[in-house]
Amino acid sequence: MAAILRFRKLCFLEPAKCSTVSVQSFEKPKNDEKQSFEQPQKSESLVSSIERVLEKPKSKKIKKQPKEWRCVDSCCWLIGYLCTSWWLLLFLCNFLPANLPGLRVPEAPGVRLKRDGLTPLHPVVLVPGIVTGGLELWEGRPCSEGLFRKRLWGGSFTEIFKRPLCWLEHLSLDNETGLDPLGIRVRAVPGLVAADYFAPGYFVWAVLIENLAKIGYEQKNMYMAAYDWRLSFQNTEIRDQSLSRLKSKIELMYVTNGYKKVVVVPHSMGVIYFLHFLKWVEAPPPVGGGGGQGWCAKHIKAIMNIGPAFLGVPKAVANILSAEGRDVAFIRSMAPGLLDSETFGFQTLQHIMRVSRTWDSVISLVPRGGETIWGDLNKSPEVENICYTSKARYLQSSSKENNGNDTDAKRSFHVKELPRYGRIISFGKEKLELPSSQLSIIDSKELMRGSASRNSNTSCGEVSSEYDEMSRNNIKKVAESDAYTASSLLDLLRFVAPKMMKRAEAHFSHGIAEDLDDPKYTHYKYWSNPLETKLPDAPDMEIFCSYGVGIPTERSYVYKLSSSDRCKSIPLQIDSSAYGSDNGCLKGGVHFVDGDESVPVVSAGFMCAKGWRGKTRFNPSGISTYIREHQHKAPSSLLEGRGTESGAHVDIMGNVAFIEDVLRIAGGATGAELGGDRIYSDIMKMSERINIRL
């Protein structure tokens, strides 16, 4: 019965389609019982077939072919996921209760110390380091149309993508003078905005500035000593009078703030820049500032050095040799030819080398002190350095906090083969394991003799780097010497970058003074080397060495000759296939030691640990020195950003403990009131191994 009703309904809706069928359905007579029994079944089958016929075109209309998935769809989905994740993080940071476990953000040290009654007392001067300060355009070539007073460095970096070659041309200095090229003027951005953020969202000095402001500091008692970090230190005075302006500003802040001495906070290369200033300000004109003896004692209370590169950094050598470091070498090995491909016209490393070799400031970061500080072919101050796994570093930190030493932790994670860090550059991993008696060492005179026979004509067109002026045979001579120490490195650099070294060595020196009273040390090229100059006569002044530890830091490199013979190629590169033991210090062609990711501990801490400790020939007035190390602790979640306990070279300026030190010293505290030294590394043992006359 139900089938008949459905049939009638279908016929009512579609009479034209059902009329024929209905006639066929009732034409045949049903006489016997069997036929009458089968009649409902046949009727139902007919209805079912009719339903299928009627529904078929309908289903064709509804059914759609699956859409082909395109690359654009993947990109859109990826962007959607990223945006959703970003908004979710913003929601978590701004709307969830701050007292939930894992979401508690520590109170800003400025807020806490202000509540405790801390107020501004001493004016504060901030001195940025290399790279972190902004640079803006004042005059340029036609390709720089519309960029007047726009940031070329330190900002959004949009000009890199719009006009990369034009951007590089304007960041370069003259290869002969080390000053402005004809028709180009790029100057340091003035004010606190010069180095508060390196790029949008990436702070440098911003967190420290904000905390200083929370206890009452403002522009009348806080100053950013911006300068063009590309120039040699003396050239910043010759071209921009940066040192004179810094001297005048300190004197003005001293007078206008109730004759309170200034607290200076330099970072990285800014540390040795300010060391140069200390000698310049007391030296007689026209070379010096004419402040006379006693100027520093009168105007400066303390110098709080952050991540100080007092004795240089080995990564500066890798930058000059091949324009690369650990990360670039890894990319180069994973994607050969990507960074220096002629096919796609990138040649990134060649352009970087061409530009950076015009910056004299890079030479200021080449390791100082020779083999005395950095070690020879057989030993170095870090001879007992152990490369830890994350678990071992945790055990080391716990051991020091509980027992005051880390002997047990080191014994548990001891590496069988001690690396020879003194071989800063080695050609081939096997050369690291050979005794010094079996190494092939080229005499420096022979190496320099080869530099005289350079190609006067090159078919490469515009010279991308000084390597283009060298024959392939001369380049192979470099690798004939199996290893280079901090002393022979200078000859190597003079060989591969003669123009740069000739220009820059007129402004910097890298030795150790035998007699500091020798009149030659009055020349400005010695002023930024703490091993060739004396601290000012200021016994009441204090010097702090504040830096991070617990992060693998580049110390020495394994190099190889590049397989490419084409023009404008860099013939030397880090051998990223060189690895040590499973728990060793050699990874990807780079040896690592303890440090803050950029500056090894021996460079950051030696002067405060030994060179200036007490009355020495480098510190005749006995200025008090303190070591304030910060054990690195990575952020536990994305909500912590770059971490409040970080020891990394730049991130340390967001370290709560470091900020509190600066605020307390600016508020009138002394180093003794801070608690004196705070040491986690082996800097004291390393210093004992350095045999230097004090």
Over the chain, what is the mean pLDDT? Answer: 82
**466 has a pLDDT exceeding 80:** no
Q: What share of the chain is helix, strand, coil (3-state, %, to 5)?
A: 45, 10, 45
Average confidence (pLDDT) over 504-530: 96
Instruction: Note the pLDDT of residue 215.
Output: 97
Active-site residue flag, 268: yes
Residue 472: pLDDT band by 50, 70, 90 thresholds? confident
Amino acid (1-letter code) at residue 140: G
Rounded CA separation 102/677 (Å): 31
Average confidence (pLDDT) over 248-256: 98
Q: Is 255 helix (H, G, I), strand (E, B) or coil?
A: helix
Residue 481: pLDDT band by 50, 70, 90 thresholds? confident
Instruction: Find the catalytic residue in 465, 528, 649, 651.
Output: 649
Instruction: Note the pLDDT of residue 608.
Output: 98
- End-to-end Cα spacing for the chain: 116
User: Could you give the count of Cα atoms lying within 13 Å of 478 in the half-sphere of its Cβ?
Assistant: 27
For the stretch 191-206, pLDDT in tens is 999 999 998 889 999 9
pLDDT > 90: percent of the chain? 56
Instruction: Find the catalytic residue in 180, 340, 482, 596.
Output: 596
For the stretch 520-539, pLDDT in tens is 999 999 999 999 999 999 99
Instruction: Note the pLDDT of residue 449.
Output: 61
Which of 6-10, 281-285, 394-398, 627-631 has the lowest average pLDDT?
Answer: 394-398
Average confidence (pLDDT) over 280-303: 96
Average confidence (pLDDT) over 417-445: 82
Rounded CA separation 168/302 (Å): 38
Residue 360: pLDDT band by 50, 70, 90 thresholds? very high
Q: Return all residues near 302 (Cβ < 8 A) that are at least 6 apart.
A: 122, 263, 264, 541, 542, 543, 544, 665, 671
Residue 445: pLDDT band by 50, 70, 90 thresholds? low
Active-site residue flag, 649: yes
Indicate the pTM of the whole model: 0.82
Instruction: Find the catalytic residue in 268, 380, 426, 603.
Output: 268
Contact of 100 with 92, CB cutoff 8 Å: no
Residue 639: pLDDT band by 50, 70, 90 thresholds? low
Average confidence (pLDDT) over 563-579: 78
For the stretch 119-152, pLDDT in tens is 999 999 999 999 999 999 999 999 999 999 999 9
Q: What angle do CA 594, 596, 600 make, to 5 degrees?
A: 50
Instruction: Note the pLDDT of residue 267.
Output: 97
Rounded CA separation 309/613 (Å): 17
Residue 7: pLDDT band by 50, 70, 90 thresholds? very low
